[in-house]
Chain A
């Protein structure tokens, strides 16, 4: 069974716009990979149709069946991580290995405060 992992520097998950997210992508795959990519993106989750925005991606050169590679992404200032009752916007890093489409994902918070913006809390304040 293949295993993929994303380890973030200092296990940091909360960021401000413009920060750099750094870490190590590790994998142990059943078959030699044709490609391994780390992707930085956001997506929405909630009641309606989901949106997704790919912000940056890194394709690791000549990936081996088992190894770890460093990565680094500079985060944009927006969109912010937020949640209301109808929709949440979630930032994530994903590691994808082909063939097979095995993935690993970690979720991040990106906002001016480094905390998720909670719309219902603001609305009722």
Chain B
């Protein structure tokens, strides 16, 4: 199967937006964040949707009149460059809202330094694997039902058809939906490729059977090279 056709390709998965599990609404969440004086943390394990939720905040905070400043740290890039620290000091004011993905990457000392630098900003929302950096706005979690719904959306099929597989995958990846979807990418790719191989093998066998029965020349119909098994 071509990567571009795989329903679990990264681009398609990224189109799936955050879903609240417990009846929470965006109005509730924004009201809660405002009550927290626009400073809070989205907390949860890897693959629980923290980054997706943070991205979904961007248009809603713009509607509130904020300019958005994005900051991102990862395991591969766990520190801010020196010029970033300078920019933070000079460019933040009350009209700017900082969305910071991966705050757990900062050391305790760097975190306190960061808080000093972003004090002038009108708001700060972070994602973190652990609670305690800022008051928790929302704790992200996943369920196998949620995974089944996401899979169903990607395949454009009813969720019920995927519940059993989703339960198994969700358990195996300890609730990490991102990793579960990555495994599905591989499974889908292998499944379709082997299905195509089986189909070509069946075709080849039927052609050979025809040849054996001397039903006429079939060489022109055979693939140019033998199909590797």
Contact = CB atoms under 8 A, between A and B. Distances in A.
Contacts of B2: 83-85, 88, 116, 118
A46 B3 contact: yes
Interface of B: 1-4, 6, 9-11, 182, 185-186, 189, 193, 225, 227-228
Closest 6 CB pairs of A and B: A46-B3, A88-B4, A83-B2, A88-B3, A85-B189, A45-B4
Given A45-B11, A47-B10, A120-B193, A87 B225 contact: no
Contacts of A67: none
Main secondary structure of the interface of B (DSSP, over half): helix
Contacts of B186: 47
27 contacts: A45-B3, A45-B4, A45-B9, A45-B11, A46-B6, A46-B10, A47-B3, A47-B9, A47-B182, A47-B185, A48-B10, A50-B10, A83-B3, A85-B2, A85-B6, A85-B193, A86-B3, A86-B189, A87-B3, A88-B2, A88-B3, A88-B4, A90-B4, A116-B2, A118-B2, A124-B227, A125-B225
Nearest to B4: A88
Contacts of A116: 2
